[in-house]
Amino acid sequence: MNTIYPVVWSNNKVLLIDQTSLPSQYTLVEISRYEDMAKAIKTMIVRGAPAIGVAAAYGMYLGAKDIQTKEREIFLKELDKVAEILRQTRPTAVNLFWAISRMLKTAYETIGTVEEIKQILLKTAQKIQEEDLKTCQAIGENSLPILPKQPAKLTILTHCNAGALATAGYGTALGVIRSVWAANRLNRVFADETRPRLQGAKLTAWECVQEKIPVTVISDNMAAHCMQKGLIDMVVVGADRIASNGDAANKIGTYGLAVIAKMHHVPFYVAAPLSTVDFSLETGDLIPIEERDPSELYQIGNTVIYPDGVDYYNPAFDVTPAHLITGIITEQKTVKPEELITLKSEFSYQSS
Ligand code: MRU
């Protein structure tokens, strides 16, 4: 049973697993101010689309609890400012914007004293967290009927970390893998290393080791070779934002993986909660792609690995076109990308 919870509410504070120091150190970072939560999201102490949604929801409560007024209007104005700071942290994962909107909507719609609104905001953050845990477990369950029938035990390739660390605690893509493992249908996981930040090698591999799920780490440029050799039965990845037409943004390198999966007739699935779908966007080219600091590319630890005088481009995500995706596994059911729109009514809180 998984016991990795990246965000924990405890004694009026949030405890975050510091994902920048795994796997060499397991440390918890205490967060009691919303500004520190914004920093933790930006610096990727907490990362992964649903996890930053949960973290931002608690960030909203931490900001709310420190607003020193009994006047509702002043309180809501100050809360808008907290929301804006949290929105500025990472642009691609829509769960962040969705969670902040849901918290704001709750505050605006609650009739009561400022103190009562604050208490309801804490409950809403906890609810977002609990819902995500259940949602990810449902995604895992929903993957079982769509698994390839052969071989009896599957080798599944995944990219980045879409595990417990990236969610409230079970995972989307790695949640699927957990469920396949529990159903005795898993041979092993192939984890792409995931340059430049190595979430696959550091985080996915760490999660698998915690649960004794057999895992083989490969560098990203080995995936095509592994598929050509017939080593991979299925690819499952997470997503940061999915447009209405099924185009899916995920960690840089996902698109290339989808291309080679298609080439080798390997089924390519995206596992994501409906909170990752941005129904306001028609296609994936409207998804904002975060660019991160070039030091992620040119530096390994404290060692600079590139010569002086080169330029850098460091997009953190890419968009996989819907036609390369076999299916999207959600908490409701698995759909073809073009059917995603039919789930719109199942999901009530949209980002604004
Ligand atoms: O930059 P990161 O580490 O936040 O990127 C994470 C990913 O791309 C994940 O695959 C995605 O957020 C899905 S997490 C369930």
pLDDT digits (tens, 9 = 90+) for 205-250: 999 999 999 999 999 999 999 999 999 999 999 999 999 999 999 9
Q: Where in the chain is the domain with CATH 3.40.50.10470?
A: 142-346
Describe the crossing of helices 94-109 and 72-87 by its angle, rounded to 10 degrees: 180
Residue 30 DSSP symbol: E
For 223, the token pair is: 């995936």
- Round to whole Å and give the CA distance between 237 and 239: 7
pLDDT at position 301 is 85
Higher pLDDT, 303 or 1: 303
pLDDT in tens, 307-337: 999 999 999 999 999 999 999 999 999 999 9
The overall average pLDDT reported for the chain is 96
Within the chain, all domains assigned CATH 1.20.120.420 are found at: 7-138
Determine contact, residues 287/345, Cβ cutoff 8 Å.
no
Q: For residue 330, give every residue at least 6 positions away whose Cβ sits within 8 Å of its Cβ, in sequence order, or none.
A: 139, 142, 272, 273, 274, 277, 343
Q: How far is the CA of 158 from the centre of ligand 1 (A)?
A: 12
Residue 66 predicted with pLDDT over 70: yes
| Cα 76 to middle of ligand 1, angstroms | 31
pLDDT tier at 75, thresholds 50, 70, 90: very high
Residue 47: is its pLDDT beyond 80?
yes
Using a 10 angstrom Cβ sphere, with 0-12 exposed, 13-18 middle and 19 or more buried, the burial of residue 238 is buried
Identify the pLDDT of residue 351: 42
Task: Check residue 348 and give its pLDDT.
Answer: 66
Residues assigned a catalytic role: 240
Ligand 1 proximal residues by C-beta, below 6 Å:
47-50, 93, 160, 162, 166-167, 172, 199, 238-240, 250-251, 316
Which of 4, 94, 160 should be mutated for ligand 1, with most atoms under 8 A from CB? 160
How many C-beta neighbours within 10 Å does residue 16 have?
24
Contacts of 125 (CB under 8 A, 6+ apart): 9, 54, 57, 58, 60, 61, 103
Give the position, in ligand 1's atom list, of the atom nearest the Cα of 52: 4
- Alpha carbon of 207 to ligand 1 centroid (Å): 15
pLDDT confidence of residue 346: 78
In ligand 1, the atom with minimum distance to the C-alpha of 171 is 15
Task: Give the pLDDT confidence score for residue 345 in this predicted structure.
Answer: 85
Fold of 142-346: Rossmann fold (3.40.50)
So what CATH class is 7-138? mainly alpha
Dist. CA 347–CA 38, nearest whole Å: 26
